[in-house]
Amino acid sequence: MTSTKKNFLYNATYQILILILPLITAPYLARILGAEKIGIYSYTYSIVYYFMLICLLGINNYGNREIAKAREDKEKLAKTFTSIYVLQLSTSILMCIAYSLYLLFFVKENIEIAMLQGLFVISAAFDINWFFFGMEKFKLTVTRNSIIKVATVILILLFVKTREDIWLYTVIMAGGTLVSQLAIWPFLKKYTKLVKVKFEDVRKHIKSCVILFIPTIAVSLYKIMDKIMLGNMTNMSQVGFYENAEKIINIPMEVITALTTVLLPKISNLVANGEKEQIERYIKKTMEFEFMASSAIAFGLFSVSSIFVPMFLGQEFVYSSIIVKYLSVTIIFISIASVIRRQYLIPHEKDNIYIVSVILGAIINLIINSLLIPRYQAQGAAIGTIVAEFSVFAYQAFFVRKDIKIKEYIK
pLDDT tens column, 61-118: 889 889 988 888 899 999 999 999 999 999 999 999 999 999 999 998 899 999 999 9
- Are the C-beta atoms of 138 and 7 separated by less than 8 Å? yes
Mean pLDDT of 249-273: 73
Contacts of 62 (CB under 8 A, 6+ apart): 84, 130, 205, 208, 209, 212
pLDDT at 349 over 80: no
pLDDT at 259 over 90: no
Confidence band for 12, pLDDT divided at 50, 70 and 90? low
User: pLDDT value at position 285?
Assistant: 83
Mean pLDDT of 164-182: 95
pLDDT at 38 over 90: yes
**pLDDT, mean over the chain:** 88
User: pLDDT value at position 390?
Assistant: 95
37 compared with 283, residue with greater pLDDT:
37
Give a three-class secondary structure readout of 233-273: HCCHHHHHHHHHHHHHHHHHHHHHCHHHHHHHHHHHHHHHC
Mean pLDDT of 120-128: 96
